[in-house]
Amino acid sequence: MAKFEIPAGWVVQGYRFALDPTPAQERSFRSHAGGARKAHNVMLGAVKAVMDQRTAERSYGIADPGLTPSMNWTLAGLRKQWNQRKGVVAPWWAENSKEAYNSGLDSLARALDAWNNSRTGERAGKPVGFPRFKTARSRRAVRFTTGVIRVEADRHHVVLPRIGRIKTHESTRKLHRRITSGSARILSATLAQDAAGRWHVGFQTLVARAVEVPAHVGARAPVVGVDVGVKADSLLVIATPDGREIDRVRAPKSLTSAQKRLRALQRRAARQLGPYDRVTQSRRQGSNRWRSTQGRVGRTHAHAAAVRRDVLHKATTELAQRHQVIVVETLNVSGMHAGGGARKRGLNRSIADAALAEIRRMLTYKTRWYGSVLVEADRFFPSSKTCSGCGRGKPNLTLADRTYVCEHCGVVIDRDLNAAINLARLGGTGTGSGPAASHRTGNGRGVRQESATTTVVNAAGEEASTRHNQMVDRTGTAVPQGTAA
């Protein structure tokens, strides 16, 4: 099958709406999500049974040609096996749309493919474990790709296969206007329940979007560097190559603010769940009050996530609209979480609360929408450890040092502002000297550039023949370079 290609001038964009379903519709939602989970678990059990059988046969000395035939792990193969078994393992399968079971099989096929590619070395990154069985407390979601999927003309209802007409909590006018004008087409719909228990429908659409900035938005500095952090007063520090601080976005710290309430609710839930039963090695079944408390915990987490998402969307939209070139650092956020134990628990929570990876993800597609350019600095570029005044390094800079004091030129500057200035000079001509000011857009070693008209590129270096992990001072002597904080 040919790979789907996005037409020129069109982009894939998502629209998400909260729903107000009736009790009957909500039961149907849960039934569809349960069907997806059932299909996933049944076929995962079948795959594991075949793998265990082949392992046992090998232990008996049976050659590979004589082993039990392996299962086809593709979506088509899993779907064929499911259709042969569903009448026995799920006699109620006809109550739901076929898309429910296809969603579970698709997630299993992707998980098995990721695990296989990881163990054979075809997938980069951390090792991917073997898929697990889904429990009743797993995230409830189902994806529809065929059937009747539409937004009603009254702009307050949507239609999904087998479920029918569902009332939305908010207006769908933005999507409906595009569909009626012919500038949008729905590709799929995903029905999912969030942590607060509210159901949402997300439409994956193909949209004809012009690369332009709204007329009411005023332009600011053409080139800026953005340093991200976890401190309350410096989630984003935005500066220009000449050393001016344009803006400083405060971190919402929504999860930190909710910790007191979460601790109280989780202690209450632990008491309501019941004492530990040593015979069955489990706790007693949760009561209705325990379920109510769990709902309050979920709503608290959902509120914290909504506050964080609101701040990030507003900040990244303003960046993409007001500036032509935006330079950000490439952080290994998952690696920053790893290790540390109890002594690093507070920092890990702050990193998660800041959602640092989301900032770059949002800027990636918003710069394409508004015609700006996103430049990603190399992961090992020492933006924090390089002086924005003279370009020399300070390898012994620690996280506790919030003020950068240069031992060579005597510059005293805020640590985050110093890093933002160095990043800005990767995207355009600056007024400083040294390696941080010598890079140009698309020419920096390890720099990646993304825009509405160009794809990600890796360009050659422009560092006066120095090694990638070194920088030089004004005398030309190599100075050891540390990892950017």
Tell me if 438 sits within 8 A of 423, measured CB to CB. no
Length of the chain: 485
Boundary residue ending a domain (181, 208, 235): 208
pLDDT 10s digits, 346-401: 888 888 888 888 899 999 999 999 989 999 988 888 888 888 888 888 888 887 78
Residue 161 shares a structural domain with residue 304: no
**C-alpha–C-alpha distance, residues 234 and 354, integer Å:** 10
Share of the chain above pLDDT 70, in %: 86
Total domain count for the chain?
A: 3
Q: HSE on the CB side for 479, CA within 13 Å?
A: 20
Domain-embedded: residue 192: yes
Q: Residue 442 pLDDT > 70, yes or no?
A: no
Domain-embedded: residue 310: yes
Tell me if 158 sits within 8 A of 152, measured CB to CB. yes
Residue 165 shares a structural domain with residue 247: no
pLDDT-derived band at 2 (thresholds 50, 70, 90) equals low
Residue 425 shares a structural domain with residue 334: yes
pLDDT-derived band at 158 (thresholds 50, 70, 90) equals very high
What is the pTM for the complete model shown?
A: 0.79
pLDDT 10s digits, 257-296: 999 999 999 999 888 876 667 777 776 777 888 889 999 9
Residue 48 shares a structural domain with residue 145: no
173: domain range? 10-20+141-208
Domain-embedded: residue 332: yes
Q: Supply the residues annotated as catalytic.
A: 227, 329, 416
Comparing 17 with 5, which gets the higher pLDDT? Answer: 17
Residue 222 shares a structural domain with residue 204: no
pLDDT-derived band at 469 (thresholds 50, 70, 90) equals very low
pLDDT 10s digits, 64-107: 888 888 889 899 999 999 999 999 999 999 999 999 999 999 99
- The residues facing 413 across adjacent strands are 404
Residue 154 shares a structural domain with residue 238: no
Residue 247 shares a structural domain with residue 198: no
- From start to end of 209-357, where are the E strands? 223-228, 236-239, 245-249, 276-277, 282-283, 325-329
pLDDT 10s digits, 10-66: 889 999 999 999 999 999 999 999 999 999 999 999 999 999 999 998 888 888 888
Residue 203 shares a structural domain with residue 235: no
Residue 66 shares a structural domain with residue 182: no
Residue 303 shares a structural domain with residue 338: yes
Domain-embedded: residue 48: yes
Order of strands, sheet of 157-160, starting from the edge strand that comes earlier in the sequence: 150-151, 157-160, 164-167
**C-alpha–C-alpha distance, residues 481 and 479, integer Å:** 6
Task: Indicate the average pLDDT of the chain.
Answer: 83
State the average pLDDT over residues 405-413.
84
Domain-embedded: residue 42: yes
Residue 402 shares a structural domain with residue 359: yes
**For 207, phi and psi rounded to 5 degrees?**
-120, 135
State the average pLDDT over residues 440-467.
36
Residue 64 shares a structural domain with residue 147: no
Domain-embedded: residue 406: yes
Domain-embedded: residue 478: yes
